Amino acid sequence: MQQTTTLQIAHTVSETRAALREMRRRGLTIALVPTMGALHEGHLSLVRAARTASDAVVVSIFVNPTQFGPDEDFAKYPRTFEADCAALEREGVDLVFAPAAEEMYPPGASTFVDVDGVSERLDGASRPGHFRGVATVVAKLFHIVQPDKAFFGQKDAAQVAVLRKMVRDLNFGLELVVCPIVREPDGLAMSSRNRYLSLEERRQALALNRALREVERLAAEGVTPAQKLIATAEAVLAGEPAVRVDYLHAVNPDTLEDVADTRNGALIAVAAFVGATRLIDNLLLPGKPR
């Protein structure tokens, strides 16, 4: 185990368990923030929320191969481990768990977590097997770390729905905390994948947030039919022809099923390709008080 002034870095499950045993022996409550690294302010907002809510913060950094499709960006996904650890140390994180793929998936591993239903919707429809990979790795992280609370971003709204259901269905004894989307000053949702964008694509990508803000404006005026809101978002996105929409839906945030009307609340979720880069963003519309 490497040890800097405050930050411990573990690469194996047994080192991680040993460090956690020590924390628990001291009576500390433990928060987990799962990430794939290439950390930005969005990730750090989760770390800060975790820090406030718990005595000890564990951050996992693992680019999980099972959640990438064969034609996706697993090989080129940004890996900035040294810089990530430096940032986490500045944030007062206690432990980084950064396993190799063979540590997480021993040869012959054949057990997976399928959250049927929600896993096939939104990103799950576009990226078959994606949420099976996510649910499996997060379940494993929950077993290894056994946190009191685990922190996730609203940025990945479909992932939140899948994991909430998994926590409920499999009786994980932890609280799942969801933190708001952190954006660049011009509105682009922060993402490790934003670094793939050229300057021109970076500008084009702003259409996603523009479309959501337009939906928000209409919703604030009292417009509730999903069809109207989605048509408005589509029109904004069509104004940026370089942006190729993958999905755009108004859904129930828990089941991810389409809703016809948003008056009881809805998730407006969008995924789009800008060049070769797939970006996601969303807006949570609150239900009207009845």
Residue number with CB closer to ligand AMP (180 or 286): 180
Minimum CB separation from ligand AMP for residue 281, in Å? 9
The separation between CA 262 and the C-alpha centre of its own chain, rounded to angstroms, equals 24
Minimum CB separation from ligand AMP for residue 44, in Å? 9
Residue number with CB closer to ligand AMP (150 or 226): 150
From residue 5, alpha-carbon distances to 82, 90, 127 in Å are 15, 11, 41
Minimum CB separation from ligand AMP for residue 226, in Å? 24
Rounded distance, CA 206 to CA 22, Å?
46
Minimum CB separation from ligand AMP for residue 213, in Å? 16
Are 244 and 273 within 8 A, CB to CB? yes
Residue number with CB closer to ligand AMP (191 or 204): 191
The single-letter DSSP state of residue 189 is: B
The active-site residue out of 11, 40, 43, 143 is 43
Rounded distance, CA 32 to CA 149, Å?
6
248 contact partners, CB below 8 Å, separation of at least 6:
211, 230, 233, 234, 237, 268, 269, 270, 271
Rounded distance, CA 103 to CA 162, Å?
24
Minimum CB separation from ligand AMP for residue 274, in Å? 16
43 catalytic? Reply is: yes
Q: Could you tell me where the DSSP H helices lie in the chain?
A: 13-25, 41-53, 81-90, 101-104, 123-126, 130-145, 157-169, 199-204, 206-220, 226-238
With CB atoms as reference, the residue minimizing the distance to ligand AMP is: 153
Are 282 and 212 within 8 A, CB to CB? yes
Which residues of the chain form contacts with ligand AMP (CB under 6 A)? Answer: 35-36, 42-43, 45-46, 152-153, 155-156, 179, 181-182, 189-192
Residue number with CB closer to ligand AMP (178 or 207): 178
Residue number with CB closer to ligand AMP (88 or 182): 182
Q: Residues with catalytic annotation?
A: 43
